[in-house]
Structure 1
Amino acid sequence: MWNERIRWVLETFGDRLTDVSLFAWSVNINGDLRETFNPALMDEYRAKWPHIRFWGCFRNMDDPDNGPYDIFQGLRGSAAARARLADQVQSEIFEAYPWIHGVDIDMELGGNGDPVASESIFEAVADRAHSLGRLASAALPPMTVDGSIGGENWVRYAQLGSMLDHVAVMSYDFAWGGSAPGPISPGWWLEQVYDWAASQIPASKLSMGLPAYGRFWSIHRYYIGEYRGQSGTYYAGWQLFNGLAPWEGHHKTGWILYRDPGSRTLWGITDCYDWRYPNQIEASRGVNFGTFNERPYAVRYGLPSASPIWSVADNSVGDALINYRINPAPVVDNTGALVSPHNGFTLTLEMLKRSPVAATVIDDYANSAQQLGDVYEQDGSAWKFAEVTDTYSQYRGSGRLKYAAGFGSRAMYSQARFQFAAAGRFGLTVQGITADLSSGGHLRLMQGAAVLAEQWLDPRVVGAAAGSGRQSMALRVREGSARVYFGSSDSNMFRLLQADVSPAFDGVVQLDASAAVWVDHLYLGDGWWYQPREAVEVELNGRRQLLGRVPRTGIRWDNANRFRPLADVDEHETRTAEISLDWDYDHWQDVPLEPGAETFLTVRPTDHDVWLGRLMVVDRDGATMAYFSDTDTLTYWRGRASHDWDLQGIALWSLGQEDVRFWETLEGGELPPETKRLNV
């Protein structure tokens, strides 16, 4: 952007800036730079504020011929393109604008590309800058010790930090236009990012990237394609919540803003007449309450086993419920009048759904030595219970561990979450069919010694600390088919192998390990029947509404809220809708409510494992939820960057989007002596 607010900030508050990165070039697949902004526009500000260090930034964006990933791949794979890029940085940035302090690299959307090849791009540019007596910086994607939430696993902080003079971590857009509403930079996540980054890169080289902007999500419709959200400046949020920017004919209503305690950002809901957190209840029964990543939720958990044991658990709703008191009160518009919706109310529930699970026979989180002895049979005593912490435990061992029951000719589903403590193989066997994985990554579907299907995965982690380097594997065996599922967690498994089979139907379900394996979750379910985890029922003023149910075809239901496909297909093949592990919104439009009339609302968790979030009474036609940064947000994290991690500073995205009162909070601050020199 280049607008009046940016010019005013540079003119008025330049004494509070140390560095400005000019997004003035884009790079193409061959390493050529194209100027996209005129750096000479900085001349008057350079003259007024000689201490500011201006950096010339190039991005792998805005190329008319290739997308960001293709450009990244081209530079990764071509030494000639990298050499051309280094030449272009010298001629088009440093020689064309001798006052540029250093080069700033913004290479994004590199996916899981080769880290060494990726680093060669940065190395070529940094080496050229250093040979000219200049510096090299980069804006890098956010990472934690567990990797990247955005799939940018080409990033290795330690290696990149060793070759660069400065790194700004782009620690924002955790919540983005395609996600559910939430803090753009959650506090718990920022802490994880900088605990990791500061352990890999010297703090003197590191700046905390913060969003100066906000995001605005429609909770009833999609703005662009399948995205609910769009971005906006702090002042867009200010206008929205002061009733100055109505949309779609709604009232110009203001609303109280709240401060998210973790991120310190402002948040609020427009066109909302009452709302509750899930734990703001009048009464409850059979429901648990908790908090995950600073978000409260209510949930009815599934049963760990049936009664009698080895049958299929009845996980229907029973008598579980939650009662809430609500009052959709009129609100004040920007003329001072009390107003209610034009056309009635919608009740909106925030829910986190999960894909259906095989109807439960045993759900075992390795809770005790007694449970290990009661549920399983083993040869000798090779498997032991290990209490890792007060809240986390494992079964550890090798050899055979067999469920202590015979299942006759039943179709069955077996699943395990495990880690390799030593190199070897781990297998699940159901009715004479085996899913087998080696620590080297060889995944096989077998019947006896015959390999029915196979696939090579990346080598698995061996010997990691308890709870690290885990994976989940499952095997479903029906009368004529077998399927193997695999993934990084229980909630992220995909079908990798399948085959037509004639099962032995010997009634045996077991697991085997050729060397030490640690298991923290074992699940045994029916091979045909599924338990959905998506819906709740709401009762209000004598009427009931089911919310969250995913439409399916080619199935039949039983009287315990279970369904099975009519053909031999996986559950996801009975529906077209995706089930994402993110908060979703379901609506009861024209809900029977009257303005200002207090009433009780009952939620019955029809399905188990559905997380219930906020409940909102909004305008019949919908509402907007927003999270955005203000001066208190930026000041708070500026202090934490300094005091908790001793970072060099903060880096704002981007100038002109911020609450400009932030610069007033820095008044009188002493700039470090080294930033007051003119660097040429």
Structure 2
Amino acid sequence: MAGVWVWTGHMWNERIRWVLETFGDRLTDVSLFAWSVNINGDLRETFNPALMDEYRAKWPHIRFWGCFRNMDDPDNGPYDIFQGLRGSAAARARLADQVQSEIFEAYPWIHGVDIDMELGGNGDPVASESIFEAVADRAHSLGRLASAALPPMTVDGSIGGENWVRYAQLGSMLDHVAVMSYDFAWGGSAPGPISPGWWLEQVYDWAASQIPASKLSMGLPAYGRFWSIHRYYIGEYRGQSGTYYAGWQLFNGLAPWEGHHKTGWILYRDPGSRTLWGITDCYDWRYPNQIEASRGVNFGTFNERPYAVRYGLPSASPIWSVADNSVGDALINYRINPAPVVDNTGALVSPHNGFTLTLEMLKRSPVAATVIDDYANSAQQLGDVYEQDGSAWKFAEVTDTYSQYRGSGRLKYAAGFGSRAMYSQARFQFAAAGRFGLTVQGITADLSSGGHLRLMQGAAVLAEQWLDPRVVGAAAGSGRQSMALRVREGSARVYFGSSDSNMFRLLQADVSPAFDGVVQLDASAAVWVDHLYLGDGWWYQPREAVEVELNGRRQLLGRVPRTGIRWDNANRFRPLADVDEHETRTAEISLDWDYDHWQDVPLEPGAETFLTVRPTDHDVWLGRLMVVDRDGATMAYFSDTDTLTYWRGRASHDWDLQGIALWSLGQEDVRFWETLEGGELPPETKRLNV
């Protein structure tokens, strides 16, 4: 049968002992979370492996592994321990010695060592691999095996800052790898599936291409996460984790918020992750596309999440002026009815103290007020918006939905901008080795394919920085980067990043611009560009807020507090001093779903009404709208037996993996163990309210 790997030892309770006693025949591997490692390579025992003796005797087929982790050390954090082991051959040798003496010699029945090294950062892959190599080599010299729990990666890298991982290299030295493909959503993130289906597919498409599938186990969450969604959480996490049974109790009304009615709440099956999800203390809710009417708004789905959005204008009329991207007459109308619900006694109940309206929104950092926003849409646009002086830029339609401008030499915006402060941005990839530059009013941001980034005025280098060498010659749409240049009357700033939404200021200098009115880009060799953006150098367009109208009252939700700015009458703002936009605020704007709240919203139980949302700012994604108890409401996602069974089948049939790895024993829906044999738990073995 497909392997079933579990971790245990970080907690130890009746349910864990019962599963080991009753269902050991369904398990193939048990990894004992029993040691922590410190910066010097010393192991400290945190769980007594001898507690496994009775289960070893009953289930001799189970392979037991000794797991050490770089967490729970009283003196140093995970990253410092990682760094200490990477940087010291003596510490790695000490760790190998400790694995031999404290794990294999102390417990000769241990089948292999399991390495759990996390939070290693984005660099030093070779040094990181030296830790695993030292441990694996020692295990193999003793006739034992070596496994590791590795962070989840896709072809694009890590979502959690773990780009020290190289699956192919680590897979070649290890006998088994369990990918920790969970906590995509976690306590500090927005609510959502812990292991989204689309993401699991990306992770295992990549992992199985780098590591033999016979060595791989799919990591699955046996637990759930529970996020509070009724109020703002500043400086603290909305979410916490819990077992399947914590979710069972919550949604059956057995563990309500303090002072709330004991009420059962509906659970849904998320179609992508196959997890259960629901909202407690929610008296009505809508997906963003469950509307009565809309105007000036688009609807779409991204990563299995529906959204509504008002896009900004790509240019102004007349062209070359700043576009008016204020709300106009755009709106969405919803019909809502916060109806009373039936509690566990059969009575109709509503919140004791009223309602809160919670909106799910995905915000973006402000953008330079738009002059031209060009996604390389057509050959006509290339000819109308730009001038070429003997250059060879051409339009290329890559697919039905994706296109590029391709060429070398100069591509100049077909206008003179006088003495205006301007912002120019490009997303591009190097088709051939060379350099690419943006020029605004005589100031140039210049990047070579070798990674040399410069801020220049003529031949003079004002500031510079070396980056990693850039990807050259990748397929269209791969190996891209984004670069931008902002030039004001006395300053120039260069921004750079992996995408338009992930750029950082890297270079800055005081300048005296030529103000020749020219804005252009230039490439010494073939470059492919798929997005060009031209904006005002001072004015910003926010992308964070919407206005809600309900029963004659209006509330602006999502606006980020700022200081040292002034607004115009088109919903634009500019700093009063020569600073970047992010220096006018203290709040961070993340590219994750955020939750804004209208507490004491004017609603009455059982009264149907219309709710109007006006997308004040463009490019704000609106998600779910929820009417919840003002004193407490929870959105939860958690795995049950159907979740685990579904992904166990896909691990086997879609990728031919060795099996699944559950984090962790004791948190799961115990019906899963009977499901492995195609049966149902007999009534006397069910644990419903433990």
User: What's the secondary structure of 2:288's corresponding residue?
Assistant: coil
String of CA shifts for 1:79-105, please: whole Å, max 9, x gaps.
111111111111111111111111111
What secondary structure sits across from 2:672 in the alignment?
helix
Distance 2:682 2:637 in 1: 33
Shift of 1:496: 1.0
For residues 376-404 of structure 1, what are the alpha-carbon distances to aligned partners after superposition, in whole Å with 9 as ceiling and x for unaligned?
00122411111111111111111100000
Q: How many angstroms does 1:38 deviate by?
A: 0.6
In 1, are the aligned partners of 2:288 and 2:307 still within 8 Å (CA)?
A: yes
Distance 1:635 1:36, change over 3 A: same
Q: How big is the shift at 1:153?
A: 0.5
Aligned partners of 1:20 and 1:54 also within 8 Å: yes
- CA deviation profile, 1:84-128 (whole Å, cap 9, x unmatched): 111111111111111111111111111123111111111111111
CA distance in 1, matches of 2:687, 2:232: 50
Contact 1:29 1:72 survives alignment (8 Å):
yes
Question: Per-residue CA shift, 1:478-536, capped at 9, x if unaligned?
Answer: 11111111111111111111111111111000001111111100000011111111111
Q: Residue 471 of structure 2 aligns with which residue?
A: 461
**CA distance in 1: counterparts of 2:172 and 2:686, whole angstroms:** 26
Q: Is the 8 A contact 1:282 1:325 kept in 2?
A: yes
Comparing 185-194 with 64-73, greater Cα deviation is found at 64-73
Q: Distance in 2 between matches of 1:676 and 1:361?
A: 64
Asked if the contact 1:50–1:678 (Cα under 8 Å) also holds between the matched residues in 2, the reply is: no
Whole-angstrom CA distance in 1 between matches of 2:580 and 2:687: 66
Which deviations, in whole Å up to 9, do the C-alpha atoms of 1:445-465 show, x marking residues without a partner? 111111111111111111111
Specify which of 599, 604, 622 is matched with residue 609 of structure 2: 599
Distance change (3 Å), C-alpha of 1:192 and 1:445: same
Unaligned runs of 5+ in 2: 1-10
What is the distance in 2 between the residues matched to 1:94 and 1:221? 51
Does 217-226 or 548-557 show the bigger shift?
217-226
Is the Cα–Cα contact under 8 Å of residues 671 and 681 in structure 2 kept in the other structure?
A: no
- Does the aligned pair in 1 maintain the 2:230–2:356 contact within 8 Å? no
Change (3 A) 1:649 1:95: same
Change in 2 beyond 3 A, CA 1:315/1:224: closer
In 2 relative to 1, CA 481–255 (structure 1 residues): closer, same or farther, beyond 3 Å?
same
Residue in structure 2 matched with residue 250 of structure 1 by the alignment? 260
Map of 2:271 onto structure 1: 261
C-alpha contact (below 8 Å) 2:547/2:556 kept by paired residues: yes
Query: Separation in 1 of the partners of 2:689 and 2:115?
Result: 19
| C-alpha separation in 2, matches of 1:676 and 1:631 | 13
RMSD: 3.8
Residues 188 and 237, structure 2, Cα contact 8 Å, conserved in 1: yes
How big is the shift at 1:618? Answer: 0.6
Check whether the contact 2:180–2:220 (CA below 8 A) recurs between aligned residues.
yes
Query: For 2:198 and 2:492, how far apart are their aligned partners in 1?
Result: 41
2:48 is equivalent to residue 38 of structure 1: yes
- Count of equivalent residues: 680
More displaced stretch, 94-103 vs 608-617: 94-103
Residue 226 of structure 1 deviates from its aligned partner by 2.4
- Whether contact under 8 Å (2:391, 2:408) holds in the other structure is no
Match of 2:441 in 1: 431
Confirm or deny: 8 A CA contact 1:535 1:549 kept in the other structure: yes
Aligned partners of 1:221 and 1:228 also within 8 Å: no
**What is the CA-CA distance between 1:146 and the residue it aligns to?**
0.4
Query: How far does residue 669 in structure 1 lie from its aligned partner after superposition?
Result: 9.6
Following TM superposition, by how much is the alpha carbon of 1:224 offset from its aligned partner in structure 2, in angstroms?
9.2
Q: Aligned partners of 1:488, 1:505: CA distance in 2, in Å?
A: 30
Residue 355 of structure 2 contacts residue 601 of structure 2 at CA under 8 Å; is this kept in 1? Answer: yes
SS of corresponding position for 1:207: strand
Instruction: Give the percent of matched residue pairs that are identical in Structure 1 and Structure 2.
Output: 100
Tell me how far apart the structure 2 counterparts of residues 635 and 377 of structure 1 sit (CA, whole Å): 59
**Cα separation, 2, equivalents of 1:218 and 1:127:** 47
Equivalent in the alignment of 2:377: 367
1: CA distance, partners of 2:177 / 2:681: 20
Q: Give the Cα–Cα distance (whole angstroms) in 2 for the partners of residues 192 and 552 of structure 1.
A: 39
Following superposition, the deviation at residue 544 of structure 1 comes to 1.2
Q: CA 1:670–1:291 in structure 2 vs 1: closer, same or farther (change >3 Å)?
A: closer
Match of 1:61? Answer: 71
Please list the CA deviations of residues 125-155 of structure 1 after superposition, one character each: whole Å capped at 9, or x if unmatched. 1111111111111100000000000010111
CA distance in 2, matches of 1:676, 1:355: 50
Q: After the TM superposition, which residues 201-216 of structure 1 pair with which residues of structure 2 at under 5 Å, given as runs?
A: 201-216=211-226
| Secondary structure of the corresponding residue to residue 394 of structure 1 | strand
Q: Aligned equivalents of 2:92 and 2:450: distance in 1?
A: 34
8 A Cα contact 1:425 1:439, kept in partner: yes
Equivalent residues of 1:483, 1:498 under 8 A apart: yes
Q: Is the 8 A contact 1:347 1:618 kept in 2?
A: yes
**Paired residues of 2:671 and 2:680 also in contact (CA < 8 A):** no
The answer for unaligned runs of 5 or more in structure 1 is none
Q: Secondary structure at the match of 2:605?
A: coil
Per the TM alignment, residue 334 of structure 1 is displaced from its structure 2 partner at its CA by 2.1
Query: For the structure 1 residues 86 and 541, does the alpha-carbon distance in structure 2 shift closer, same or farther, using more than 3 Å as the test?
Result: same
CA offsets per residue over residues 148-169 of structure 1, 9 Å max, x none? 0001011111111111111000
Structure 2 distance, partners of 1:516, 1:669, is: 62
| Residue 288 of structure 1 pairs with residue 298 of structure 2 | yes
Judging changes above 3 Å, is the alpha-carbon distance between structure 1 residues 268 and 435 closer, same or farther for their aligned structure 2 residues? same
Between the aligned partners of 1:95 and 1:404, the Cα distance in structure 2 is 76
Change (3 A) 1:131 1:516: same
Query: Which deviates further from its counterpart, 130-139 or 398-407?
Result: 130-139
Alpha-carbon offset, residue 222 of structure 1:
6.7
Mark the CA change 1:672 to 1:112 in structure 2 (over 3 Å): closer, same or farther.
farther
* Kept after mapping to 2: 8 A contact 1:210/1:651: yes
- Alpha-carbon deviations, 1:211-264, whole Å to 9, x = none? 000001112347794211110000011111111112232222211001100000
Offset, 1:325: 0.7
Equivalent residue in structure 2 for 1:164, among 146, 171, 174 = 174
TM-score by length of 1: 0.97
Q: Name the CA distance, whole Å, in 1 between partners of 2:536 and 2:273.
A: 43
Q: Distance in 2 between matches of 1:679 and 1:373?
A: 69
2:654 counterpart SS class = helix
1:11 to 1:675, Cα distance in 2 relative to 1, 3 A: closer
Q: What's the secondary structure of 1:195's corresponding residue?
A: helix
Over 3 Å counting, the alpha-carbon distance change for 1:226 and 1:677 in structure 2 is: closer
Q: 1:223 to 1:9 in 2, by over 3 A?
A: farther
Displacement, 1:171?
A: 0.1
Residues 548 and 675 of structure 1: CA distance in aligned 2, closer, same or farther (over 3 Å): closer
- More deviation, 242-251/407-416: 242-251
Determine if the alignment matches structure 1 residue 326 to structure 2 residue 336: yes
Q: Call closer, same or farther: CA 1:636–1:653 in 2, change over 3 Å.
A: same
Q: Is the 8 A contact 1:273 1:329 kept in 2?
A: yes
Preserved contact between residue 223 and residue 229 of structure 1 (Cα < 8 Å)? no
